[in-house]
């Protein structure tokens, strides 16, 4: 009663089947798009389902019993994911992140991890293979994921206060189980663990200091806590600019905990600005995708659960790679299509966000579908 129901604009079917280039240039590992950005990072959504209903991502009012998730036959199989991942790696991808939805809900995920862990870059290096999870199943699965070849995990946790967290995940899921998952990941050797907190004005901003204190005192350098500005992804969360807590404000609050020093980016295209506690108790990350857009060096591509390729988290339509795979295109043809699509890429949504909001923007695919 009294709940706001925001209709979900279903953009999942909006995808073009990519054109296969007439000449099939072999991959060089050095693709660049129209803005000179390299392709280095592939995020793969392995399921569009989640067992949480965070209001900023999959609000209950929209993702309710009537919401139709993708049928199993529509999902890419592990073999299809690995075939595509291999092509992306040949084009220069060095890092793969499994995401969703909640990736640990995909059955036998360890098998996929094993398959991806066997891939090598053109230089013969293994991939930086990682996963983002709400940690609800992590305590149970951390060791088997590590054994399968996973390198690291990122855990989402928006508050330490149990009542605040239960309200935010809207499934009454307790903080203690997430903390257990983090412990299990560290014990299995999946560290340092990144912990992501999405900060929303009036919802959990008062938890910033408690989160910072807890992780620097309990884990020091073994956990990197990252504060994410609440973003206008998808069309279902009713995002408003006044709900965003700018990273600059987060930093001010953190400085009340202990002195911090700025660190240089570890890798190009990194999403977080890095800060270190001066007393050596670890690192903090600030992800300012709203107030300081980082489209300029974005090197990420996203593969949806059913094989659609997106070049931007805020995209309105994708490129249907599954149609090529299942339509009988050869590996050389699919690979050439992926290369040509990256070379045509020109998007920079976050930099244009102000103008997009002013003109109404337009609907965007949901994060739970293309992967966070
Ligand atoms: N279920 C997994 C999890 O909870 O980490 C993976 C998928 S989730 C979509 C990936 C990340 O996106 C999470 O850290 C989540 O907090 C973040 N996220 C989702 N919606 C967001 C929004 N509107 N603004 C900022 N971050 C968001």
- In this prediction the pTM is 0.94
| Amino acid 11: pLDDT | 66
Query: Is any atom of ligand 1 closer than 6 Å to the C-beta of 369?
Result: no
C-alpha 44/C-alpha 77 separation (Å) is 12
Task: Give residue-wise pLDDT tens across range 88-109.
Answer: 999 999 999 999 999 999 999 9
Query: Is any atom of ligand 1 closer than 6 Å to the C-beta of 231?
Result: yes
Nearest-atom index, ligand 1, CA of 56: 23
- DSSP states of 187-228 as a string? HHT--SEEEEEEEBTTTTGGGHHHHHHHHHHHTGGGEEEEEE
Task: Tell me which residue has its CA closest to atom 2 in ligand 1.
Answer: 133
* pLDDT one digit per residue (tens) for the chain, 372 residues: 334 444 455 666 678 999 999 999 899 999 999 999 999 999 999 999 999 999 999 999 999 989 999 999 999 999 999 999 999 999 999 999 999 999 999 999 999 999 999 999 999 999 999 999 999 999 999 999 999 999 999 999 999 999 999 999 999 999 999 999 999 999 999 999 999 999 999 999 999 999 999 999 999 999 999 999 999 887 788 899 999 999 999 999 999 999 999 999 888 778 899 999 999 999 999 999 899 887 889 999 999 999 999 998 888 889 999 999 999 999 999 999 999 999 999 988 887 876 655 444 566 788 887 777
How close is the Cα of 88 to the center of ligand 1, in Å? 24
C-alpha 73/C-alpha 200 separation (Å) is 37
Whole-Å CA distances, 282 to 65, 221, 222, 278: 42, 4, 7, 9
Query: Is any atom of ligand 1 closer than 6 Å to the C-beta of 305?
Result: no
| Amino acid 355: pLDDT | 61
Residues 277/220, Cβ–Cβ less than 8 Å: no
C-alpha 96/C-alpha 371 separation (Å) is 12
Query: Is any atom of ligand 1 closer than 6 Å to the C-beta of 156?
Result: yes
How close is the Cα of 327 to the center of ligand 1, in Å? 33
How close is the Cα of 123 to the center of ligand 1, in Å? 32
| Amino acid 372: pLDDT | 73
Query: Is any atom of ligand 1 closer than 6 Å to the C-beta of 48?
Result: no
Query: Is any atom of ligand 1 closer than 6 Å to the C-beta of 45?
Result: no
Nearest-atom index, ligand 1, CA of 102: 1
| Amino acid 349: pLDDT | 80
Nearest-atom index, ligand 1, CA of 58: 20
Query: Which of the 8 DSSP states describes residue 268?
Result: T
Nearest-atom index, ligand 1, CA of 230: 24
Nearest-atom index, ligand 1, CA of 45: 7
Query: Is any atom of ligand 1 closer than 6 Å to the C-beta of 102?
Result: yes
How close is the Cα of 267 to the center of ligand 1, in Å? 22
Query: Ligand 1, from 198, 225, 233, 291: best to mutate by most atoms within 8 Å of Cβ?
Result: 198
Residues 295/279, Cβ–Cβ less than 8 Å: no
Task: Give residue-wise pLDDT tens across range 73-84.
Answer: 999 999 999 999
Task: Tell me which residue has its CA closest to atom 10 in ligand 1.
Answer: 372
Residues 315/341, Cβ–Cβ less than 8 Å: no
How close is the Cα of 372 to the center of ligand 1, in Å? 5
Token pair for residue 126? 């293994």
| Amino acid 15: pLDDT | 84
Token pair for residue 173? 């899921």
| Amino acid 361: pLDDT | 58
How close is the Cα of 344 to the center of ligand 1, in Å? 28
| Amino acid 3: pLDDT | 43
How close is the Cα of 132 to the center of ligand 1, in Å? 9
C-alpha 169/C-alpha 60 separation (Å) is 10
Query: Is any atom of ligand 1 closer than 6 Å to the C-beta of 132?
Result: yes
Count the neighbouring beta carbons within 10 Å of the beta carbon of residue 109: 22
Query: Is any atom of ligand 1 closer than 6 Å to the C-beta of 59?
Result: no
| Amino acid 179: pLDDT | 98
């Amino acid at each position: 009663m009294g709940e706001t129901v925001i209709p979900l604009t279903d953009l999942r079917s909006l995808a073009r089947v990519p054109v296969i280039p007439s000449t099939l240039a072999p991959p060089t590992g050095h693709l660049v798009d129209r803005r000179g950005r390299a392709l280095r990072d592939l995020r793969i959504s392995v399921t569009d389902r989640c067992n949480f209903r965070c209001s900023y991502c999959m609000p209950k009012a929209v993702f309710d019993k009537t919401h139709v998730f993708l049928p199993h036959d529509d999902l890419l199989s592990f073999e299809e994911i690995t075939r595509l991942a291999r092509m992306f790696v040949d084009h220069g991808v060095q890092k793969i992140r499994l995401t969703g939805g909640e990736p640990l809900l995909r059955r036998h995920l360890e098998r996929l991890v094993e398959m991806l862990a066997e891939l090598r870059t053109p230089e013969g290096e293994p991939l930086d293979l990682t996963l983002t999870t709400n940690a609800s199943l992590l305590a149970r699965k951390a060791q088997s994921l590590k054994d399968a070849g996973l390198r690291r995990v990122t855990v989402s946790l928006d508050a330490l206060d149990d009542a605040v967290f239960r309200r935010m995940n809207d499934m009454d899921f307790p903080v203690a189980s997430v903390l257990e998952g983090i412990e299990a990941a560290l014990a299995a050797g999946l560290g340092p663990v990144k912990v992501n907190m999405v900060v929303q004005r009036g919802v959990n901003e008062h938890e910033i200091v408690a989160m910072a204190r807890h992780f620097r005192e309990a884990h020091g350098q073994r956990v990197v806590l990252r504060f994410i500005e609440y973003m206008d992804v998808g069309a279902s969360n009713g995002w408003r600019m006044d709900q965003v807590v700018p990273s600059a404000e987060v930093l001010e609050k953190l400085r009340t905990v202990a002195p911090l020093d700025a660190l240089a980016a570890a890798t190009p295209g990194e999403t977080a600005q890095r800060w270190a506690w001066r007393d050596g108790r670890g690192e903090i990350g600030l992800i300012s995708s709203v107030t300081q857009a980082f489209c300029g060096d974005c090197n990420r591509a996203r593969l949806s659960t059913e094989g659609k390729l997106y070049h931007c988290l805020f995209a309105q339509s994708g490129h249907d790679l599954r149609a090529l795979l299942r339509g009988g295109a050869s590996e050389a043809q699919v690979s050439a299509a992926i290369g040509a699509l990256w070379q045509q890429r020109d998007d920079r949504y976050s930099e244009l966000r102000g103008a997009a909001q002013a003109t109404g923007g337009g609907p965007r695919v949901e994060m739970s579908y293309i992967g966070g």
